[in-house]
Amino acid sequence: MEVYKIKGGNRLKGNIKVSGAKNSAVALIPATILADSPVTIDGLPEISDVLTLKLLMEEIGGTVTFENGKMTVDPTNMEAMPLPNGNVKKMRASYYLMGAMLGRFKRAVVGLPGGCFLGPRPIDQHIKGFEALGAKVTNEHGAIYLRADELKGAKIYLDVASVGATINIMLAAVRAKGQTIIENAAKEPEIVDVATLLSNMGAKIKGAGTSVIRIDGVDELHGAQHTVIPDRIEAATYMIMAAAIGDGIQVDNVIPFHLEAVTAKLREMGVKVQEDEESIFIPKSETLHAVDVKTLVYPGLATDIQQPLCVLMTQAEGSSKVTDTIYSARFKHIDELRRMNAVARVEGNTAILTGPTTLHGSTVTASDLRAGAALVIAGLLAEGETEIHDIYHVERGYSDIVEKLNALGAEIRKETITPASAN
Ligand SMILES: CC(=O)N[C@H]1[C@@H](OP(=O)(O)OP(=O)(O)OC[C@H]2O[C@@H](n3ccc(=O)[nH]c3=O)[C@H](O)[C@@H]2O)O[C@H](CO)[C@@H](O)[C@@H]1O
Ligand SMILES: C=C(OP(=O)(O)O)C(=O)O
């Protein structure tokens, strides 16, 4: 089993470069299925979700090259191979194969997705959208079967502004006959990024990034070239880390506009965030103040940032409250932080953390991706050594995290331990 071992307490300093956005990358790659010639995507993060999608593209007959963050997918010989199990279960965003394969082949069989367990994560809005476009959708033995004689544009109102449903419906609708209107669409920057690639492939999409998206279906989509946007969640994680244990850290390759909610919250805590065009500098923090946080859909504070932010709250004076309105049970990191001496408790969909506290190195488990990121920051802050288990979650979302942090002066290493020594 692979674990991270972190010797805590080192102050960190220097520049750290953010990679391409995971949540864009995992939709851009399936979007290539819709083209009739090769699509190249540049700036992709080297994370396990991207490698899993590469394998899935190959499983359905795509020819894929991936080097130095640049992936070219030739979808010409792809077929509607059923994908009920295997790689689709390793990640959440394999659900985008449903929309993309339905758009191209008018049929697909895709296993229910994996990904972070954050409490229930239904996909009813995706299915409602596919059905509105004319697909018959059934759930058989844990796989979703989709079939349509033809896809027809429709007006679809999303009951929740879901990122996944918005993108998935967009992927199918670009090849439907006539106009599709998605109302109460999610507005996350990753949706705009996917719409940009699809438009470059010949799709007709208006309104991505607003709550009403209009799509005029086209008969074919062609190859294109695209560079993925920077990962705003990775950037926010490193901003929080910089505020917690930095002696001056510049986070490079960011779009500061995408980070406004976290920037505002850090400033409220007393952090002096300095924005430039494509970078953000965080000087050494002075006194940190407790704050209350509520996660919301974009442009509100992302639920994915809540978990790392909890660690910073252990260093702030007073009691902070974090209410997660998107995933009410996304608090498994709190138990692990308590093992590290954090003063924290969960009441319903709210965590309450009181600081400042000295964190103690401990053996802890990453229950999901951002819980893992939170524990890495906690380990960097803690006195003594921290050992983090189940780091495969972290590797779904953070490209080269060990190398990036060590370059700032951290002491973190990946080690393989035997299960016996894991106890
Ligand atoms: C691969 C990817 O992009 N993952 C992100 C995406 O996940 P994901 O796309 O799965 O999240 P959604 O935006 O769909 O979920 C938002 C909320 O809507 C609910 N819901 C969603 C779909 C549906 O059909 N029915 C339904 O009820 C969910 O349970 C959740 O409470 O957005 C989440 C919320 O910003 C982020 O935490 C994830 O990092
Ligand atoms: C929850 C996340 O990812 P996924 O939707 O891929 O599980 C995340 O990125 O924090």
What is the per-residue pLDDT across 116-146, written as a single tens digit (0 to 9) for each? 788 889 999 999 999 999 999 999 988 999 9
- Cβ-based neighbour number of residue 246 at 10 Å: 27
Closest approach atom of ligand 2 to CA 369: 10
Domain check: are 329 and 252 in the same one?
A: yes
Alpha carbon of 162 to ligand 1 centroid (Å)? 5
Task: Inform me whether the pLDDT recorded for 57 exceeds 60.
Answer: yes
123: domain CATH number?
Answer: 3.65.10.10
End-to-end Cα spacing for the chain: 12
Confidence label for 114 from pLDDT (cuts 50, 70 and 90): confident
Alpha carbon of 285 to ligand 1 centroid (Å)? 33
| Ligand 1 proximal residues by C-beta, below 6 Å | 23, 26, 92-93, 121-126, 160, 162-165, 186, 302-304, 326-327
Looking at 198, 227, 256, which one is the last position of a domain?
Answer: 227
Alpha carbon of 118 to ligand 1 centroid (Å)? 10
- The verdict on whether residue 123 carries a ligand-binding annotation is yes
Looking at 201, 227, 253, which one is the last position of a domain?
Answer: 227
d(CA 188, CA 326): 14
pLDDT digits (tens, 9 = 90+) for 334-388: 999 999 999 999 999 999 999 999 999 999 999 999 999 999 999 999 999 999 9
Q: What pLDDT sits at residue 214?
A: 98
> Which of the residue ranges 39-43, 89-93, 179-183, 279-283 would you say has the lowest mean pLDDT?
89-93
User: What is the count of structural domains for the chain?
Assistant: 2
Task: Inform me whether the pLDDT recorded for 420 exceeds 70.
Answer: no
Task: Inform me whether the pLDDT recorded for 111 exceeds 70.
Answer: yes
Alpha carbon of 163 to ligand 1 centroid (Å)? 6
d(CA 328, CA 349): 5
ipTM of the complex: 0.99
Task: Inform me whether the pLDDT recorded for 99 exceeds 80.
Answer: yes
d(CA 149, CA 246): 57
Rg of the chain in Å (alpha carbons) = 21
Confidence label for 422 from pLDDT (cuts 50, 70 and 90): low
Domain check: are 10 and 103 in the same one?
A: no
Active-site annotation holds for 116: yes
3-state secondary structure of 163: helix
Domain check: are 192 and 315 in the same one?
A: no
Domain check: are 263 and 217 in the same one?
A: no
Domain check: are 104 and 93 in the same one?
A: yes
CA distances from 45 to 204, 227, 341, 411, 423 (A): 28, 11, 33, 23, 33
- The verdict on whether residue 122 carries a ligand-binding annotation is yes
Q: What pLDDT sits at residue 345?
A: 98
- 167 within ligand 2 shell (Cβ under 6 A): no
With pLDDT > 90 as the criterion, what percentage of the chain qualifies?
96
Q: What pLDDT sits at residue 392?
A: 95
- The verdict on whether residue 92 carries a ligand-binding annotation is yes
Domain check: are 148 and 67 in the same one?
A: yes
Task: Inform me whether the pLDDT recorded for 203 exceeds 70.
Answer: yes
Nearest to 135 by CA among 159, 94, 100, 102: 102
3-state secondary structure of 208: strand
Domain that includes residue 289, residue range:
2-19+230-422
Domain check: are 239 and 326 in the same one?
A: yes
Domain check: are 285 and 359 in the same one?
A: yes
The residue whose C-alpha atom lies closest to atom 32 belonging to ligand 1 is: 163
Confidence label for 102 from pLDDT (cuts 50, 70 and 90): very high
Domain check: are 289 and 141 in the same one?
A: no
Mean pLDDT of the chain: 97
Domain check: are 122 and 261 in the same one?
A: no
Confidence label for 9 from pLDDT (cuts 50, 70 and 90): very high
Domain check: are 213 and 280 in the same one?
A: no
What are the tokens at 203?
A: 């799709």
- 324 within ligand 2 shell (Cβ under 6 A): no
Q: What pLDDT sits at residue 115?
A: 76
Q: Are 20 and 46 in contact (CB under 8 A)?
A: no
Amino acid at 309: L
pLDDT digits (tens, 9 = 90+) for 270-318: 999 999 999 999 999 999 999 999 999 999 999 999 999 999 999 999 9
Q: What pLDDT sits at residue 421?
A: 59
Domain check: are 381 and 244 in the same one?
A: yes
The residue whose C-alpha atom lies closest to atom 9 belonging to ligand 1 is: 164
Angle between helices 22-31 and 48-59 (to 10 degrees): 10
What are the tokens at 380?
A: 């960097």
Looking at 202, 227, 252, which one is the last position of a domain?
Answer: 227
- 304 within ligand 2 shell (Cβ under 6 A): yes
- 106 within ligand 2 shell (Cβ under 6 A): no
pLDDT digits (tens, 9 = 90+) for 32-53: 999 999 999 999 999 999 999 9
Q: Are 168 and 126 in contact (CB under 8 A)?
A: yes
